[in-house]
Amino acid sequence: MLTISEIEIALKSHSVEFKLHRVPAGVGKSVQEHLEAFGLDASQGCATLIFITNQGPVALLRRDDTKVDNKLFKQVLGINKLRMAEPEELMQIAGFEPGMVSPIGLEIPIYMDKRVLEQVAVRVGTGGNEYSLEISPNDLLKVTAAQVVDVCEVKVGDGLKRSRILTGDRPTGALHLGHYVGSVENRVKLQNEYELFYLIADIQALTDNFDNPEKVRANVLQVAQDNLACGLDPEKSTMLIQSMIPEIAELTILFMNLVTHAEVLRNPTVKAEIQDKRFGESVPFGFVAYPVSQAADINVFRANLVPVGIDQAPMIELAREIGQKFNRIYNCSIFDPKLNSLFGVERNLVGTDGDAKMSKSKGNTINLNDDAETVKAKVKTMYTDPSRIRATDPGKVEGNPVFIYHDFFNSNKEEVEDLKQRYVKGAVGDVEVKEKLANALNEFLEPIRARRADFPLDRVAEIVDAGTRRAREVAKETMAMVKEAVKINY
Ligand code: TRP
């Protein structure tokens, strides 16, 4: 068994991204408690099970919301005896207590059920109760050299209702690669595990674009199309326009009574945004209040989880607190008191100019709907290593936007490795690195372009219309209960 620092070293030696989170004090050893402490659900936990077979011990990595089909596993392994290891055997083979097994450094054959790969990030054991390791399944695969198998099924029933997720975008511009790695990719995966509602937040977009309704209007179907092009599936998820659900506005008004003036002003997310946008004294009241309307977006659909980046977490806390307060004051249980954020691996993409964040207002984006020529032209202007003047100067790969993009989007890992090695030696010019990047980006965008062609704007409009109608039924149901609880059901 490896110590936590040995695990860290092992992971770093594979140069993968990972995060070690400290488990809060008082959290028990069960998987469920562990995941709950981080606001995660079972599909984001990845257990390492040790089996004894007639050919010796093997490990299987499987999601915590799935169970192993032993017969199938035996078939796949081509063996005839298979059983779970007893606690003593576990200790002997790997030095672990049950439930604490870490796949890092295990010296037996390792398999991974393919459902693990559906997640953007999973939590795996570290051998103890102090740390929680967050890693992408692909990186986990790399580190463990596991073989992918298809031997599990998702547990349904036994009280495991599919949680409902609410996610959304403000329609203020075409989505770009930063949105893709930061949220859209994750969203598309989540639709397989959850009931997913996707909200086009036009009313929220107006809170700081009230004088530019044309812009908001023009981008409503644009962001919907961007999401569809990335794989959001209208058969699986519900896409809706915020302004077409008047129940959200009604609920916002009632929610405003349940939050203090000071609480809204204190909200760290809004505070930061007010500064970023340089509103100064002229910040619209509607903008300051948008967390309350966002709480209504979430609660009107009685959502259970909201995928967000860490900076948005206070928003979701506020939504939960308002829902809980409503339940308490009006003596009902309409809203989920356990409403929580769903964190993926925090993935932020630098801009083409090397700025910490890709963002439309900074003009440093590569958009999901850029054509091949535009991508080429944008890549040509990208920042690289500023201290490198000639192709023969040794260059820096770390923190270099061009290589950051290569790592994210170039599926030809050998090519990337080769470029990096030559770059640090001063044996490759920026031109070649950029040409290869433009090709890789276009290859990455090609399937997105192909799917976009399947969703012309009139079809997008139909999809959003049907989704909005479906979502509105849920919102109406909620409002009927809400009005009864507040005694305004005349
Ligand atoms: N605030 C989100 C953004 O800026 C958009 C949004 C509006 C949202 N309502 C939501 C996200 C409800 C999740 C849940 O992108």
Examine the domain organization and report whether 53 and 91 are in the same domain: yes
For residue 211, how far is its CA from the centre of ligand 1 (angstroms)? 20
Mutate-to-test residue for ligand 1 from 294, 343, 361, highest number of ligand atoms within 8 A of CB: 294
Whether residues 447 and 467 share a domain: the answer is no
8-state DSSP, 396: -
190 and 318, same domain (yes or no):
yes
- Answer yes or no: do 304 and 270 share one domain: yes
At 307-349, the pLDDT tens digits run 987 778 899 999 999 999 999 999 999 999 989 888 776 788 9
CA–CA dist 471, 474 (Å, integer): 5
**C-alpha neighbours within 13 Å on the C-beta side of residue 192:** 15
Last residue of a domain, one of 127, 154, 181: 154
Nearest protein Cα to ligand 1, atom 13: 167
Ligand 1 proximity of 177 Cβ (cutoff 6 Å): no
Sheet holding 195-200, edge to edge: 237-241, 195-200, 164-169, 305-308, 340-343
297 lines ligand 1 (CB under 6 A): yes
Give the domain-ending residue among 136, 154, 172: 154
Q: How many contiguous H segments (helices) and E segments (strands) does the chain have? A: 20, 15
Q: Does the beta carbon of 169 sit less than 6 angstroms from any atom of ligand 1?
A: yes
355 in a structural domain: no
**338 in a structural domain:** yes
Domain presence at residue 357 = no
The reply to whether 327 and 474 lie within a common domain is yes
| Residue 422 is assigned to a structural domain of this protein | yes
**Which one, of 60, 290, 65, lies nearest residue 190 by Cα?**
65
**Secondary structure element (H or E) that encloses residue 343, with its range:** strand 340-343
For residue range 369-426, list pLDDT tens digits in order.
999 999 999 999 999 998 898 989 999 999 999 999 999 999 999 999 999 999 999 9
- What is the per-residue pLDDT for 281? 85
Residue 229's pLDDT is 98
Six-digit token string for 410:
């170039």
Which of 106, 134, 154 delimits the end of a domain?
A: 154
pTM of the model: 0.73
* Structural domain contains residue 379: yes
- Domain shared by 448 and 464, yes or no: no
Residue 149 near residue 99, CB atoms below 8 Å? no
Residues 135, 221 within the same domain: no
Ligand 1 pocket residue status of 204, Cβ below 6 Å: yes
Domain hosting 377: range is 370-452
Q: Which of 172, 204, 361 to mutate to test the pocket of ligand 1 (most atoms within 8 A of CB)?
A: 204
Is 431 among the domain residues?
Answer: yes
Domain membership of residue 233 (yes or no) is yes
Q: Containing H/E element for 90?
A: helix 87-94
Structural domain total, the chain? 3
CA-wise closest residue to 232 among 471, 464, 410, 41: 464
What's residue 345's pLDDT? 66
Ligand 1, closest atom to CA 183?
Answer: 15
Ligand 1 proximity of 178 Cβ (cutoff 6 Å): no
Within this chain, do residues 93 and 120 fall inside the same structural domain, yes or no? yes
* DSSP SS3 for 247: helix
State whether 67 and 212 are in the same domain: no
Is residue 360 one of the residues assigned to a domain? Answer: no
| pLDDT < 50 regions, the chain | 157-160
Residues 279, 412 within the same domain: no
CATH number at residue 414: 1.10.240.10
Half-sphere exposure of 254 (CA within 13 A, CB side): 24
Residues ≥6 apart with Cβ < 8 Å to 57 = 50, 51, 85, 89, 93, 108
Tell me: do 102 and 182 sit in the same domain.
no
| 95 and 171 part of one domain | no
Residue 278 CA to ligand 1 center (angstroms) comes to: 21
Strands (E), 170-318: 195-200, 237-241, 305-308
Which of the listed residues 164, 169, 190, 322 should we mutate to test ligand 1's pocket, taking the one with most ligand atoms within 8 A of CB?
Answer: 169
CATH number of the domain where residue 244 is located: 3.40.50.620
